[in-house]
Chain A
Amino acid sequence: MGTGTQQKVSSTKPTNEIKSAVIRFAGDSGDGMQLAGAQFTSTSAVLGNDIATLPDYPAEIRAPIGTVAGVSGFQINFSSESIFTPGDKVHALIAMNPAAFKAHIDDVEPGGIVIANESEFGKVNLKKAGYPEGFNPLDDEGFNRKFQLFKVPISRLNTEALKDSGLGAKDANRCKNMFALGIVYWLYDRPLDTTVGHIDSYFGKKKNLPKVAAANIASLKSGFFFGETAELFPVRYHVAKAPIKAGKYRKITGNEAVAMGLVTAAKLAGKDVCYCSYPITPASNVLHALAGMRNYGVKTFQAEDEIAAVCSAIGASYAGQLGVTGTSGPGLALKSEAIGLAVMIEMPLVVVNVQRGGPATGLPTKTEQSDLLQAMYGRNGECPVVIIAAQSPGDCFDSAIEASRIAMQHRVPVILLTDGYLGNGSEPWRIPDHNSFEKIVVEHPSDPETFQVYGRDEKLVRPWAIPGTPGLEHRLGGLEKQHLDGNVNYEPENHQLMMEVRKQKIERIADDFDPIEPYGDSEGDLLVLGWGGTYGAIFTAVERARKAGKSVSGLHIRHINPMPKNLGDVLKRFKRVLVPELNLGQLRLIIRGRYLADARGLNKVQGRPFLVEEIDQAIDLMLQGKYGDREYLRPHQGLVRLEDQDYDFTSIDGRPH
């Protein structure tokens, strides 16, 4: 496979066969690191590796150039085996400037590869990165001893490679990410054709910039040839195909999958998606994706604010279509009153919450799972909604269909929780057979003789009568409803009755769920219970523990509300329960409250997903009974240690000294 040139020269250096590798591209937020990472991902996916990615970028579009605050990173784990996380430690770091080096060097495994763009390691940039005067990490003995440090003047070599390209110095310099990518392609024995094809179609055809396309391709190839000809790298690495199930695949991010799931659900129900949203990181690209799908009957509406977004989505459902709004934590807070109205008028509504670090504006571009309790309880009154949590980028597709199905069939708001890690992370996704989906049957009443506005079926679902239907004219609103006839009613007993109806209506949805079973053994010493985007890390850690002979099983719940009916029974079969979450213990609180289970936590709120090894350590501490009275432990720099748990809030990093 690959380019002809590559085949000719590829045998001149020894190749090490490795099972998997984790690489990270890091540079200024304008250096094109996300693009380089995405290209490496696509190439690896096409090659048949299993992949998992973690983009990590600053909240500012262009933070001051050269500063640590402005560093943008993209991590990819690619493997010849099945993988479920973007990886703990970095095998190879590509650092485009000193700030990128500084921000990421601690994550590189000892002996790991560091390719540093030497051209940018001048005095000024070193100072901007905050290194003391006269210190250059590339010349530091410690760093050179710990890592395989390769100094490559990427900027200069790239400029030279493009001197006849016809591009100005600035534009030529912008191609340096492709030069860096070329080096990495060589190092990991990857073909160039996927990326060449992408550059051709994007710059060449879509943007009609043939010169820019040619320059990017030239940079890519120059980087690749540099890897081969420069006597710098002693070996190159090869990661074979993973034993992936045969079929047709595409790379998918969680946000893309949500968009596709919503459209699929609407088609299955014979409805149009009305996606009403206000731009917010990291949910905006759900809106972007759907805005490009007008030919699927998708109507997107960029509302004036978060409140208008949810209200117009409810209006769209009221008029008989699938009303959906998408947001992140701060937006969910703004939508809460309207979600309460949708509960009261029992209207289908899907609310996609791509969670990010909070509270307030928090960490807009970083991941967290801290909106679970907001989704459960963040409204006035007793106001139950359905909550579904997706567990991987590809699973966002199925979860979006499930959320839409429940919303339409049960006339309830459904909050679909994903997070920044799932939304922007990607994995290879096996394209399902388009005939494999069950129709979503949704009925609208039309007979005035039998119509009762708040009449109910055995699942306590009321009819979804839509304007335009003669004889069914009726009024809905946020005031309490009289049971069955739906008129305004303030009577004490009626209010109690209606509260119970709304509660039980949600609970009865669980009648349709299959009983859940843990993976691993059905009983044992420890159950690791998780939800949402932590699935990959928890699953990997549990499998590892089991291979080591430990009595550990895992359980990942998709239905947060209502919960699967047998969850309490499953919990009872284990001596201990560990709940790792990227919050301070939100599912844990519910589990303890509802099941009186002595669940303990591993709780991380650092804007990043769990490392597998963090969960490994918590599992061991749980098995050894070392949690003591502690309700939860927290990792620090990848380590979960009992002696590291108490903060000293008077010291600069809060750690006891």
Chain B
Amino acid sequence: MTQLPVLTAKDFASDQDIRWCPGCGDYAILNQVKKILAKIKAKRENTVFVAGIGCSSRFPYYMGTYGLHSIHGRAPAFATGIKIANPDLDVWVVTGDGDGLSIGGNHLMHILRRNVNVNILLFNNRIYGLTKGQYSPTSETGKKSPSTPMGSIDLPLTPLSIALAAEASFVARCVDVDKNLGEVLQRAAAHRGSSFVEIYQDCNVFNHFAFKHATDKDAKEDNIIRLEHGKPLVYGKNRNKGIRLTGDYKLEAVEIGKDCQEDDLIFHDESDEKLAFMLSRMQHPEFPEPMGVYYDVKDDCYEDLLTQQVKDAIEQRGEGSIEKLLNSGDTFTVD
């Protein structure tokens, strides 16, 4: 047997010049994605990146795999069609807070509930970058932008809460420049079903430092919790803070040793849907924001069930041919 060539991150790059703004968080994500594809020994020819419209959606052009830069908000629908037609392809959907939650909110909800086996990366920069800085569905209320000079008046939504409510089977969050991004992406790739990963991504032109709390070297460990399955929710630079459940089922940030002991904290359980939802509601500055895998459960994939129905039908009724088709229904003969 001949040895298959080992692909490196570089082998997953396309020959096109990257046109994101210098310093954009997208670069870090692109590098991590290429790295983990090499690591998991993905095949270029079997990998498809599908995107909608927006800065993040240019992603497929920079990958040396198959890619489809589709229309605004509809990447999940294209991805579903691809998986229906060929379930063997590894499909990645790249979207943003505008593309995925505004114009394409409907499709995101439905691909998740169907549990189509794709990996969805939602780059959340809380702003519309490509159209030059209007507020987005994840912008904080009061956001001043070209379209909201007096401040936005709508409430932002939380991507992870949406994903969980849409019955997603894998939900995670990470930060573009954080060390755990690659790890989370690898988990997402390994999950069979829709994997939803929100990535805090810095738009350094229109919304710089929107996630400073989660990226600032000195402050971030006090502002995020790194989730680990089966481990207590401990955080803080000095690992002395944690999250506890109160008697009336609310979350509470406490100091270990002062308010309680480590055993009194919530222990993370990736199969607990209610916990995942509660975690998704934790927001800075009231709470540290959880990073890592919130939720990961096994469930049937849409395309597998569909393929099975085809197999079952063939078994039960025999494989259809043109001859059989034409002679189906109530036929009669005219002499």
Using a CB–CB cutoff of 8 Å, the interface residues on chain A facing chain B are 42, 45-46, 48, 194, 198, 241, 244-252, 256, 260, 263-264, 267-268, 272, 274, 276, 293-299, 301, 303-305, 307-309, 311-321, 323, 337-338, 341, 345, 431-432, 434, 437, 466-479, 487-488
Residues of B305-335 at the interface with A, using a CB-CB cut-off of 8 Å, are: 306, 309-310, 312-314, 316-323, 325-327, 329-335
In the bound complex, do residue A475 and residue B81 qualify as a contact, i.e. CB atoms below 8 Å apart? no
User: Bound state CA distance, A78 and B67, in angstroms?
Assistant: 55
A341 CB contacts on chain B under 8 angstroms: 70-71
**Interface-central residue, B76, B106, B319, B326, by most chain A CB under 10 Å:** B326
In the bound complex, do residue B80 and residue A477 qualify as a contact, i.e. CB atoms below 8 Å apart? no
User: Bound state CA distance, A197 and B76, in angstroms?
Assistant: 47
User: Bound state CA distance, A46 and B333, in angstroms?
Assistant: 8
User: Bound state CA distance, A492 and B60, in angstroms?
Assistant: 24
Partner of B81, one of A250, A264, A295, A316: A316
User: Bound state CA distance, A338 and B64, in angstroms?
Assistant: 25
A250 CB contacts on chain B under 8 angstroms: 329-332
Within 8 Å of chain A (Cβ to Cβ): is B286?
Answer: no
4 other A-B residue contacts (CB within 8 Å) besides A246-B334, A251-B329, A315-B50: A250-B331, A304-B110, A316-B82, A432-B326
Within 8 Å of chain A (Cβ to Cβ): is B86?
Answer: yes
The minimal Cβ–Cβ distance linking B96 to chain A, given in whole angstroms, is 16
User: Bound state CA distance, A311 and B306, in angstroms?
Assistant: 18
User: Bound state CA distance, A311 and B82, in angstroms?
Assistant: 10
User: Bound state CA distance, A311 and B322, in angstroms?
Assistant: 28
Partner of B45, one of A305, A309, A467: A467
Partner of A487, one of B16, B312, B314, B333: B16
User: Bound state CA distance, A479 and B51, in angstroms?
Assistant: 13
* Given A301-B84, A308-B74; A263-B68 close (CB under 8 Å): no
In the bound complex, do residue B64 and residue A473 qualify as a contact, i.e. CB atoms below 8 Å apart? yes
User: Bound state CA distance, A46 and B89, in angstroms?
Assistant: 49
Q: Please classify how large the interface on chain B is, using the bins under 10, 10 to 19, 20 to 34, 35 or more.
A: 35 or more
A431 CB contacts on chain B under 8 angstroms: 326-327, 331
* Given A341-B71, A475-B61; A308-B77 close (CB under 8 Å): yes
B206 CB contacts on chain A under 8 angstroms: none
Within 8 Å of chain A (Cβ to Cβ): is B79?
Answer: yes
Residues of B61-115 at the interface with A, using a CB-CB cut-off of 8 Å, are: 61, 63-71, 74, 76-86, 88-89, 106-107, 109-110
Within 8 Å of chain A (Cβ to Cβ): is B48?
Answer: yes
The minimal Cβ–Cβ distance linking B310 to chain A, given in whole angstroms, is 5
In the bound complex, do residue B85 and residue A479 qualify as a contact, i.e. CB atoms below 8 Å apart? no
In the bound complex, do residue B333 and residue A473 qualify as a contact, i.e. CB atoms below 8 Å apart? no
In the bound complex, do residue A318 and residue B331 qualify as a contact, i.e. CB atoms below 8 Å apart? no
**Interface-central residue, A194, A249, A305, A468, by most chain B CB under 10 Å:** A468
* Given A272-B85, A311-B70; A248-B78 close (CB under 8 Å): no
User: Bound state CA distance, A607 and B306, in angstroms?
Assistant: 38
B318 CB contacts on chain A under 8 angstroms: 295
* Given A295-B318, A301-B84; A247-B46 close (CB under 8 Å): no
In the bound complex, do residue A312 and residue B71 qualify as a contact, i.e. CB atoms below 8 Å apart? no
In the bound complex, do residue B81 and residue A315 qualify as a contact, i.e. CB atoms below 8 Å apart? yes
In the bound complex, do residue B333 and residue A314 qualify as a contact, i.e. CB atoms below 8 Å apart? no
User: Bound state CA distance, A49 and B321, in angstroms?
Assistant: 29
